[in-house]
Amino acid sequence: MSTPPHSGRPDPRGYPPHQEQPQVYIPQQPTAGQQAYGQQAYGQQTYGQQDYAQQDHGQQSYGQQEFGQYAGQQYATAPGQSQYGHYGQSAAQQYPPLYDVDQDAEYADYYVPEYTVLEPEPEPEPDPGYVLPEVPVSSWSVDNSRSAWISRGALVLILLVQAGLSFRLGGSAFAQEAKFLMSDGELSGLISRFGLTGARSLSLAWALGATALLFGATRLLFNARAGLAAAAVYSVLESTAFTGRYASTHSLSLFLLAASLWLLARTRQAGPLAVLPAAPFAALAPFAAYSAALYLPTLTVLAVLTAHRSRGIGAFARGGLFAVATGALCAVGVRLVGMPGGWRALGDDSAFGLLEQSAKWSGVALLVAVIGAVGYVRRARMGEMPWAGGAVQGTVRRAALGLTMCATPLLAPLYQAWLGNGSSLHIHVGFGLLFAVPMAGLGVSRMMGAHFRYPQIGIMVYVAALVIGMAQTRELYRPPDSAAVIGALRDVVDDKGSYLSDDPEISAYYLRAQTRPGQWHQADRGAALSAAVEKHSYDAIVLRSATVPEALRGDEDYRQLAVVRPAGKGGTQEPYRIWVKR
């Protein structure tokens, strides 16, 4: 505000002290102001901002910038206000009419020094010792420790829900679980001390770790809100609940992939060499579960795409380095422990059926991911904070990232449909979705809109995913009800007998106190079963069968001891039939 000085001191700008000046000027001001306010309040005024802009002259430039057109109109139609309006801009222009020639003559005796103001030389900017890297702008209003703690709290809630969904699944061991517990060398030795519960708890720990890493990776690639949404979507998938409960190395493999993904995101701004810590995790994953190998190319592409912003063409070096390191470690692994099994087992499942099932299991997450990818390609940011500029990835890179993340979940279904082998597909889809859910998280975040404008959409997506996931898990997770058959066999077996069973692993695991695993043999059907019965070498035969097999019908050597039906009503499991030597 350029208010004229009213003290008796000589004005440095050359104005003489003029006490009477306000007396001349001030009477005009209220009149003009009242006039203007009156008209604004009761006349043509419709924009509140205008009122504000005119009251506070300090804000005038802002007001004029935003509403310049209206402001101009206002000045034109309000007589007397123009004088007031211009006052702030150029007070000097207003004053000259008040000082006539006589007044100048009255003060002519005063010495008026002449001087020029020298602008000081600007200080030279020191060379920056440290330049902050480009930081992705958070969608939260402020990225402080409080918002970080809120994010972590929400993540804990999500993980609790995931743990709850996994704990929902009870029951006895699956055959594969029992096999895993009984046979796999040293790991088995460690795990067998804690039994099935210990192995399942370990599985859950890996699964929860994978979700947390997924949150971290998505937060680094996009933002915390997308990260939470991604973790929420991932935590309620049927595959997540299943692998979290199922004592196998699938969840370990998922954890390794997630760790690799997180490291890629973490090192996205560092030099290409920083990608190397991600390689061992990626290379170990296929040895935990062979299906993870399908996703090593995805990780390589992500190594390139995540790095591109900060490293330009060096990103390709990063991707190459990652691929070479992972490949080399895999080769060493194959040399040491051999090729992971189950790679190319052909089956005769219907390809269409497998794709349809995959769509049921991963459809919601994939759809949201595609929405997220489309939104991401169209706009890099939602624009919640227009003042926060900064570089964003180009359209091509965004499109490539969206495409990579959305295409990855198709790998396992397509590969297994091509093989015609649907074994464990409901678990394998989870591997692909691990890479799609960051985009799904972004999709949920985008659908909720800037500043959580439509939170109901996010809630809707989450509830839909939760309900579908729970229903599918219940349908898929059907461990054999072996309690009754184990109870019946307990009185039959000893440490000397030889036993034929459809589930030798389960019997061997649960009856490990009474028998050795070597006493249990895998049962077959048809001629093989007839031969086994003829040989009369087994002390007990345990089959899961709706009817008495022809080989045992009217057999003089074996007596059907019991037919044990699963406890649950409406179950699809066939009853266990136990034959013992007469």
Q: Residues in the site for another protein, rule: CB under 8 A?
A: 153-154, 156-157, 160-161, 163-164, 167-168, 170-173, 195-197, 481-488, 490-491, 506, 510-511, 513-514, 547-548, 553-556, 559-567, 575, 577, 580, 582
CA distances from 567 to 333, 464, 483, 570 (A): 44, 31, 9, 9
User: What CA–CA distance (Å, rounded) separates 553 from 372?
Assistant: 61
Residue 178: CB atoms within 10 Å: 25
Place of tokens 């099935």: 196
Q: What one-letter code names the amino acid at 422?
A: G
- Angle at which helix 145-167 crosses helix 238-245, to 10 degrees, equals 70
CB of 277 to another protein, least distance (A): 33
User: What CA–CA distance (Å, rounded) separates 296 from 305?
Assistant: 14
CB of 258 to another protein, least distance (A): 22
Q: Residue 70 or residue 558: which is nearer to another protein going by CB?
A: 558
Q: Residue 158 or residue 325: which is nearer to another protein going by CB?
A: 158
CB of 572 to another protein, least distance (A): 15
CB of 524 to another protein, least distance (A): 21
How many whole angstroms from its chain centre is CA 15? 67
Neighbouring residues of 43: CB distance < 8 A, sequence distance ≥ 6:
none
**From edge to edge, which strands make up the β-sheet containing 520-522?**
520-522, 499-501, 540-544, 576-581, 558-564
CB of 436 to another protein, least distance (A): 26
CB of 518 to another protein, least distance (A): 18
Q: Residue 4 or residue 195: which is nearer to another protein going by CB?
A: 195
Q: Residue 78 or residue 578: which is nearer to another protein going by CB?
A: 578
User: What CA–CA distance (Å, rounded) separates 298 from 407?
Assistant: 9
Strand 499-501 versus strand 540-544 pairing type: parallel
CB of 137 to another protein, least distance (A): 23
Q: Residue 408 or residue 482: which is nearer to another protein going by CB?
A: 482
Q: Residue 178 or residue 274: which is nearer to another protein going by CB?
A: 178
Neighbouring residues of 502: CB distance < 8 A, sequence distance ≥ 6:
522, 523, 542, 543, 544, 545, 576
Strand 576-581 versus strand 540-544 pairing type: antiparallel
Q: Residue 510 or residue 538: which is nearer to another protein going by CB?
A: 510
